[in-house]
Amino acid sequence: MKVTDYISASKNRPLVSFEILHPLKGKSFQSICDVLDPLMEFKPPFINVTYHRSETKFKKMADGRFDKVAIRKRPGTVGICAAIMNKYKVDAVPHLICGGFTIEETEDALIDLDFLGIQNILCLRGDAPHGEVQFTPEVGGHHHAIDLLMQAERMNNGIYLEDDLKNPVKTNFCLGVAGYPEKHAEAPNMIADLKQLKAKVDAGAQFIVTQMFFDNSKYFEFVDACRKMDIHVPIIPGIKPLTTLKQLTVLPRTFNVNLPEELVIEIQKVKNDDDKVFKVGVEWCIQQSKELVKSGAPVIHYYTMSNVKAIKTIAEQVF
């Protein structure tokens, strides 16, 4: 079923969804089950699965030279989606990124997803590879999420890269995109960012999942700004709890988000006690979730980042 159909069928009751980080190479599907098993009691209609592009490393060769090699630390998004659907009988929403893919490889991935009966895809550009500042597209790949989205949308209309296919199947993907309540780091200003978001929606995006935020007013203002720009698709708030002292600096740097002063003060008060930091962060996220539910957010999307204990504690209080 499509994300948009779940939202329509929910009749304004808030839904919960979880985003999981697919495991490092060498780990088994059990590591995903360890995250999902305790969360399935909250009946998420769908589970998002992230995608990671390969990284470039320099490897010392036998003759002493260094060769550039591509290493994909977290492969297997498509397989994990299939395994999740098979085991839990819920829909999986794979993230598909531009980075590391040629358009031909993107088409093959979309065909695989269609064969697996996956109906929802979150279309993203992807970040710069680890250790690099700027995003660089693959040679022959897409530059922006909208280009990937348009390729999937063309397949929804039966248009593939080869134009001599006989009666090509029209895929039936429900396509989502990312939105940034506090602006994407590279956008010159909020209006410019919103215009790009509007272009993605006009090109066929049917839902938006937001970057994490810790101050609900940022989400409410973002939704208002989107509606004023004639963006009327569901805007799913994505949130996560702050659970360690280190995240006070890591989260703003990594995700271009602000941490509210009140939260920072509360964390600083207990900074020498890891358990108390965890409790403050989890309680903040519970209050955030309750307010979002009350405001009529269609789905609360939790970035689990494998932190089952925190997410389960929050979901128990909210759903």
Which residues make Cβ contacts (< 8 Å) with residue 212, sequence separation at least 6? Answer: 238, 239, 240, 251, 255, 257, 303
89 burial via Cβ count (<10 Å: 0-12, 13-18, 19+): exposed
- Per CB under 6 A, the segment of 49-57, 67-75, 224-232, 305-313 that binds ligand FAD is 49-57
Residue 238: closest CA among 267, 259, 216, 253:
216
Stretch that binds ligand FAD, among 141-149, 155-163, 218-226, 245-253 (CB under 6 A): 141-149
Out of 184, 276, 279, 290, the only residue in the binding site for ligand FAD (CB under 6 A) is 184
Q: Which stretch binds ligand FAD (CB under 6 A): 33-41, 178-186, 263-271, 288-296?
A: 178-186
Stretch touching ligand FAD by CB under 6 A, among 103-111, 125-133, 259-267, 274-282: 125-133
Number of residues that bind ligand FAD (CB under 6 A): 21
Nearer to ligand FAD, 193 or 266 (CB): 193
Q: What is the rounded distance in angstroms from the CA atom of residue 41 to the CA atom of residue 316?
A: 9
Q: Is 178 in the site for ligand FAD (CB under 6 A)?
A: yes
Interaction between residue 196 and ligand FAD (CB under 6 A): yes
Among 97, 233, 257, 315, binds ligand FAD (CB under 6 A): 97
Nearer to ligand FAD, 39 or 299 (CB): 299
Closer residue to ligand FAD, CB minimum distance, 278 or 301? 301
Give residues 246-305 in contact with ligand FAD (rule: CB under 6 A).
none
CB of 276 to ligand FAD, least distance (A): 29
- Position among 23, 44, 47, 50 found at the interface with ligand FAD (CB under 6 A): 50
Q: Which is nearer to ligand FAD, 256 or 279 (by Cβ)?
A: 256
User: Using the rule CB under 6 A, which residue among 95, 181, 281, 310 binds ligand FAD?
Assistant: 95
**Given candidates 14, 76, 234, 238, which one binds ligand FAD under the rule CB under 6 A?**
238
Q: Which stretch binds ligand FAD (CB under 6 A): 44-52, 245-253, 266-274, 275-283?
A: 44-52
Q: Are 286 and 255 in contact (CB under 8 A)?
A: no
Residue 30 CB, nearest approach to ligand FAD (Å): 21
- Contact between 138 and ligand FAD by CB under 6 A: the answer reads no
Secondary structure (H, E, C), the chain: CCHHHHHHHCCCCCEEEEEECCCCCCCCCHHHHHHHHHHHHHCCCEEEECCCCCEEEEEECCCCCEEEEEECCCCCHHHHHHHHHHHHCCEEEEEEECCCCCHHHHHHHHHHHHHCCCCEEEEECCCCCCCCCCCCCCCCCCCCHHHHHHHHHHHHCCCCCCCCCCCCCCCCCEEEEEECCCCCCCCCCHHHHHHHHHHHHHCCCCEEEECCCCCHHHHHHHHHHHHHCCCCCCEECEECCCCCCCHHHHHHHHHCCCCCHHHHHHHHHCCCCHHHHHHHHHHHHHHHHHHHHHCCCCEEEEECCCCHHHHHHHHHHHC
Nearer of residues 67 and 186 to ligand FAD, judged by Cβ: 186
* Site residues (CB under 6 A) for ligand FAD, limited to 198-217: 209, 211
Residues that bind ligand FAD (CB under 6 A): 50-52, 95, 97, 124-127, 144-146, 178, 184, 186-187, 193, 196, 209, 211, 238
